[in-house]
Amino acid sequence: MIDLHTHSTHSDGLLQPAALVERAAARGVKVLALTDHDETAGLAEARARAAELGIVFVNGVEISATWDGHSVHVVGLNVDPGNPDLAAGLEWLRAGRRRRAESIAAELDKVGIGGSLEGALAHAANPALLGRTHFARYLVERGYASDVAAVFRRYLVAGKPGYVPHQWADLEQAVGWITAAGGIAVLAHPGRYRLDEAKRDALFAAFKQAGGLGVEVVTGSHHADQYPLYARCAQRFGLLASCGSDFHGPEEGRRELGALPQLPAGCTPVWTRW
């Protein structure tokens, strides 16, 4: 049981790293990566608890990137969080998040939703890493939507109140920082990006060109009918296959820890590299 994509309170997850590891272990996970957005501060705590519980821990991160105007995520696995290139890149991304958060709050102000910067910060255990999920939790708290998923249908996305376009890292930067830190760059949940087939193939080609080595095939963000589709993409582009729940918390799950199916036959798993 392998889960290579999870979040803690150091980004927009709801469990502290140690509690996340405990939940994963209790649900039968044997190999776990913590992959907080643009942040590695939770890795030491998670690694220590994983050692106590006898599960294999993989240092991870999920880097926010922009490719051809689309927001895409790149997971880094087995990264050295002390690498200066990676650390500086992530710090730059977090600073951009803070500026974006101020703009999001200003946009929400325009539709009569006040106090959202403070409100989002109250939901962020790590004030250095502010994301839309923290705003979403504030909007739920204030009764603007019934849950976080409902917020993302009505706010914070293109064309809706509270949306702010943002320039993240280039694909080349995101992959480069991961590679510099000794890690394997994995394209996260490709099925979530709204791309037609030609654009999707162009993204895969650009990712590969930038030095990307893997792609998430089985993820909590994919429907079951997308697993074989992205398994074929992995094979066509010569990419290793990864799997991860993208777990954020017990109450906000798309997918629970330790509940993913096996990779489809024919995939070369990313963990064959370690």
- Which partner, Mn ion, ligand AMP, none, binds residue 39 by CB below 5 to 8 Å per kind? none
Minimum gap (Å) between residue 29 Cβ and ligand AMP: 20
**DSSP state for residue 37 in the 8-state scheme:** B
Residue 12 found at the interface with Mn ion (CB under 5 A): yes
C-beta nearest to ligand AMP: residue: 131
- Which partner, Mn ion, ligand AMP, none, binds residue 149 by CB below 5 to 8 Å per kind? ligand AMP
Q: Within 13 Å, how many C-alpha atoms sit on residue 226's CB side?
A: 15
Minimum gap (Å) between residue 65 Cβ and Mn ion: 10
Contacting Mn ion (CB under 5 A), which of 73, 100, 137, 222?
A: 73
Q: How many residues bind ligand AMP (CB under 6 A)?
A: 10
Residue 23 found at the interface with ligand AMP (CB under 6 A): no
Nearest to 8 by CA among 179, 199, 245: 245
Contacting ligand AMP (CB under 6 A), which of 94, 123, 132, 189?
A: 132
Amino acid at 247: F
CA dihedral of residues 200, 205, 209, 211 (deg, nearest 10): 60
User: CB neighbours (10 Å) of residue 114?
Assistant: 11
Residue 94 found at the interface with Mn ion (CB under 5 A): no
Site for Mn ion in 49-68 (CB under 5 A): 62
Residue 246 found at the interface with Mn ion (CB under 5 A): yes
Contacting ligand AMP (CB under 6 A), which of 23, 37, 49, 94?
A: 37
Q: Are 119 and 141 in contact (CB under 8 A)?
A: yes
Q: Are strands 169-170 and 184-187 parallel, antiparallel or unpaired?
A: unpaired
Residue 115's alpha-carbon distances to 106, 111, 132, 159, 219, in angstroms, are: 9, 12, 15, 22, 35
The whole-angstrom separation of Cα 7 and Cα 10 is: 8
**DSSP state for residue 210 in the 8-state scheme:** T
Residue 152 found at the interface with ligand AMP (CB under 6 A): yes
Measured in degrees and rounded to the nearest 5, phi and psi for residue 132 equal -65, -30
Show the binding pattern over residues 192-231: x = contacts ligand AMP (CB under 6 A), - = does not. Answer: ----------------------------------------
H runs (alpha helix) in the chain = 17-26, 43-53, 84-110, 116-122, 132-141, 148-154, 171-180, 197-209, 226-237
Nearer to ligand AMP, 12 or 45 (CB): 12
Nearer to ligand AMP, 32 or 148 (CB): 148
Contacting ligand AMP (CB under 6 A), which of 149, 154, 205, 209?
A: 149
Minimum gap (Å) between residue 133 Cβ and ligand AMP: 5
Q: Which residues bind ligand AMP (CB under 6 A)?
A: 12, 37, 64, 131-133, 148-149, 152, 248
Q: Which residues bind Mn ion (CB under 5 A)?
A: 12, 62, 73, 188, 246
